Amino acid sequence: MTEDIPFNVPFLAVAVMVGIAFYTIISQRNLIKLVMGLSILASGVNLFLITLGYRKGGVAPIYTHTPARMMVLPVPQALTLTSIVIAVATLALMLSMVIHIYRHTGSTDSEKSRIMKG
Amino acid sequence: MMSKIVRTMASLLILFALIYGLYIIMHGHLTPGGGFQGGAVFASGVALLIVAFGSNNIHKSLKEHHLSVLESSGALIFIGLAFGGLAIVFFYNFLVGSLMFGHIPPSGPNPGDLWTGGVIPFMNIAVGLKVLAGLSAILLVMALATTIMEVEE
Amino acid sequence: MRKIAIAVSWGIFVAFLIATAFLIHPFGYPPSEMDDYIIENTQSETGANSAVTAVVFDYRGYDTLGEATILFAAVTGVVMLFRRKKKEK
């Protein structure tokens, strides 16, 4: 895996993932599918953070039993750790709120559970 | 509550899952891993117990009050260590070169020495306690809520 | 009419994303100098063998404090949403 990858394939993958996630959030009416779209958006942003810091022909930035080559950048990996934990916490809170909405109004359709009509 | 084979194998496999999680937490400054990853592995072991034995039986001995005490003590140890090096800056590493965890490793690739790291192993243990207690509390409360919903209807 | 406006704005947004994917720096040659300092001086300043753990807990420990606060707030919210009322006689 040390040859030249043509025309930036990982950044194109991030653009496709964010595009699909935004289309899902705009057009779906079921609440659980909306939460799935938000989770895909979080995964796309994490992938973008990690692929920003890759050096061609590098190894992991850890000094225990490592071959003596160039190392990749360690700071984007630290920021991605924080982002993954925050995504898990917000996903748990959103799913609890969906359970409560289903218990109070009887359906998971976002058009039928509007309380404030104006 | 599942069948007898599932319950026996689950209570045998939970030991290996817990030991693996604690190993990842303790060796955070030598190998990939650390506090967050080890806490997540530990919480997946607790999820195995909840699925095999039923959430009502687990709730008889593991209440939310004990998990809340664990999580708060982890957060307080983390902040206490941060205030420890306040003589120079807020998060200063004041244990490098002193008695506890104070060796300095040679430069370049080397086999790891457990007694290095300064204040980092204590911070790994504190964050590991916090993540373990938090994720287990989320799993337990959500499993209890869905079984009560089935009984009422 | 409203659906056409929403679809056109989504198309412009995705076009900007794909244009960025072609114009960003080539994959594998990042223009960064801060990480060279961190990789050189991790073992003498912090004493840990792993650069990622040293960055998370020593060079950027304040961000880890904020993330622990977010985890605590989320767990408090979930446990609060599922409380049961005790029946009083």
Nearest CA to A88 out of A48, A17, A35, A11 is that of A35
The pLDDT assigned to A118 comes to 58
Q: What is the pLDDT of residues C3-26, one digit of tens each?
A: 999 999 999 999 999 999 988 888
The pLDDT assigned to C88 comes to 53
Q: What is the pTM of this model?
A: 0.89
Question: H or E stretch including C83?
Answer: none
Q: What is the pLDDT of residues A28-40, one digit of tens each?
A: 999 999 999 999 9
SS3 of A108, please? coil
User: How far is CA A63 from each of CA A2, B90, B103, C20, rounded to the nearest angstrom?
Assistant: 21, 27, 15, 35
Q: What is the pLDDT of residues B77-99, one digit of tens each?
A: 999 999 988 888 888 888 887 88
| B60 and B50 Cβ atoms separated by less than 8 Å | no
Residue C52 clears pLDDT 90, i.e. is over it? yes
Taking a contact as any Cβ pair under 8 Å apart, which residues of chain B between 92 and 121 contact chain C? 93, 96-97, 101-107, 110, 112, 116-118, 120
The pLDDT assigned to A40 comes to 96
Rg (CA), chain B: 19
**Most A CBs within 10 Å, among C35, C44, C65, to test the A interface:** C35
Residue B54 clears pLDDT 60, i.e. is over it? yes
CA distance A55 to A1: 12
CA distance C21 to C15: 10
Question: pLDDT band for position A117 (50/70/90)?
Answer: low
Residue B145 near chain C (CB below 8 Å): yes
Q: What is the pLDDT of residues A70-111, one digit of tens each?
A: 899 999 999 999 999 999 999 999 999 999 999 888 888 888
Closest residue to B31, CB basis, from A64, A96, A99: A64
Burial B89-119 (b: 16+ CB within 10 A, else e): eebbbebbeeeebeebbeeeeeebeeebbbb
Question: Which chains are within 8 Å of B by 3+ CB pairs?
Answer: A, C
CA distance B25 to B44: 15
Residue C71 clears pLDDT 90, i.e. is over it? yes
Residue B148 near chain C (CB below 8 Å): yes
Q: Which residue of B has its CA nearest to A74?
A: B32
Phi, psi at residue A59, to the nearest 5°? -115, 175
| B24 and B38 Cβ atoms separated by less than 8 Å | yes
User: How far is CA C62 from each of CA A22, B25, C57, rounded to the nearest angstrom?
Assistant: 32, 20, 8
Residues of chain A positioned with their CB less than 8 A from the CB of B109: 63-68
C48/B118 Cβ within 8 A: yes
Nearest CA to B130 out of C15, A89, C30 is that of A89
Closest residue to C78, CB basis, from B112, B131, B141: B141
The pLDDT assigned to B91 comes to 86
Residues of chain C positioned with their CB less than 8 A from the CB of A90: 74
Question: pLDDT band for position A1 (50/70/90)?
Answer: very low
Count of the separate structural domains present in chain B: 1
The pLDDT assigned to A50 comes to 93
Give the domain extent around B43.
Answer: 4-152
The pLDDT assigned to A3 comes to 52
The pLDDT assigned to B93 comes to 87
B109/A96 Cβ within 8 A: no
Domain limits, chain A: 30-55+70-109
CA distance B69 to B59: 16
